[in-house]
Amino acid sequence: ETGVTQTPRHLVMGMTNKKSLKCEQHLGHNAMYWYKQSAKKPLELMFVYSLEERVENNSVPSRFSPECPNSSHLFLHLHTLQPEDSALYLCASSQDRATRKYNEQFFGPGTRLTVL
Amino acid sequence: GEDVEQSLFLSVREGDSSVINCTYTDSSSTYLYWYKQEPGAGLQLLTYIFSNMDMKQDQRLTVLLNKKDKHLSLRIADTQTGDSAIYFCAENVDSGTYKYIFGTGTRLKVLA
């Protein structure tokens, strides 16, 4: 596997379910990101981890809980979601900011989440 | 607040030039980016420009930056059907954080 992979690619869940999204990067990066992509809205940065520590948390509801056990893996745990949380959830990775002049992010294909 | 604005749709004929526009609000951004998203895929970096540059050219792509007006544009010459995708403008707020502000994306449709 190369690049950034995400599983599952599609997920349908009820409002009372608990599920997790998984992201894995094979690029040797040490920063990982979760974004939410909704139609006709700006791409929304949710969480950023650098060297396994959370460095950005953009006022995301607590029903979304991230976890970064190591620099290659990132999870998004979902609990009691609402229908308006239906969206494409994208994971990305990059080198740490301090090591590069510009910071290219590499994105996974996303998980299409539908909350019923 | 910080905001990046783009129009949602653009339609051009194959062989014509496409110009995708973007306005941003944070004048402290040091890098501005254009990403491309093809159907069923994540975003892929197309090009970027450093804030002290006015223009950057890379094959069919030309990026123009007007810092005074906080306006960024992406010109694609000789647009092909394979260029049909969503194009995102993004700024990297250089405040020592990992904060990236993306626009809504512009869906480019190339007509044969």
Q: Which residues of B touch A35 (CB under 8 A)?
A: 102
Dist CA B57 CA A92 (whole Å): 26
- Which of B40, B45, B88 lies at the smallest CB-CB distance from A104? B45
Q: How close, in Å, is residue B15 to chain A by CA atoms? A: 27
Cβ atoms of B10 and B18 within 8 Å: the answer is yes
CB contact under 8 A, B98 and A41: no
Residue of A nearest to B29 (CA): A102
Residues of A with CB under 8 A from a CB of B: 4, 31, 33, 35, 40-45, 48, 50, 55-56, 90-92, 97, 102-110
% of chain B surpassing 90 pLDDT: 74
Q: How close, in Å, is residue A57 to chain B by CA atoms? A: 10
Cβ atoms of B86 and B22 within 8 Å: the answer is no
Q: What is the mean pLDDT of residues B16-32?
A: 89
- Which of B90, B98, B101 lies at the smallest CB-CB distance from A50? B98
Confidence of residue B1 (pLDDT cuts 50, 70, 90): low
List C-alpha distances in Å: B79 to A96, B13, B95. Answer: 35, 8, 36
Expressed in angstroms, the distance from the first to the final Cα of chain A is 32
Residue B11 pairs with which residues in a beta bridge?
B109
**Angle ∠(B56,B105,A112) on CA atoms, nearest 5:** 130
Q: Which residues of A touch B102 (CB under 8 A)?
A: 35, 42-45
Q: What is the mean pLDDT of residues B58-80?
A: 96
Give the per-residue pLDDT at B99.
77
The verdict on whether omega for the bond into residue A69 sits within 30 degrees of 0, i.e. cis, is no
| CA-atom Rg of chain A in angstroms | 14
The model's pLDDT over A7-26, given as tens digits with 9 standing for 90+, comes to: 999 999 998 889 999 999 99
Dist CA A38 CA B36 (whole Å): 16
Q: Which residues of B touch A42 (CB under 8 A)?
A: 3-4, 101-104
Dist CA B71 CA B82 (whole Å): 26
Neighbours of A104 (CB within 10 A): 16
Location of structure tokens 């339609």: B11
- Is the pLDDT at B94 greater than 70, yes or no? no
Dist CA B3 CA B26 (whole Å): 8
Cβ atoms of B47 and B31 within 8 Å: the answer is no
Dist CA B37 CA B46 (whole Å): 10
The model's pLDDT over A49-98, given as tens digits with 9 standing for 90+, comes to: 988 888 877 789 999 999 999 999 999 999 999 999 999 999 999 986 66
DSSP, res B81: G
Cβ atoms of B12 and B74 within 8 Å: the answer is no
Q: How close, in Å, is residue A96 to chain B by CA atoms? A: 9
Tell me if chain A has a CB within 8 Å of the CB of B58.
no
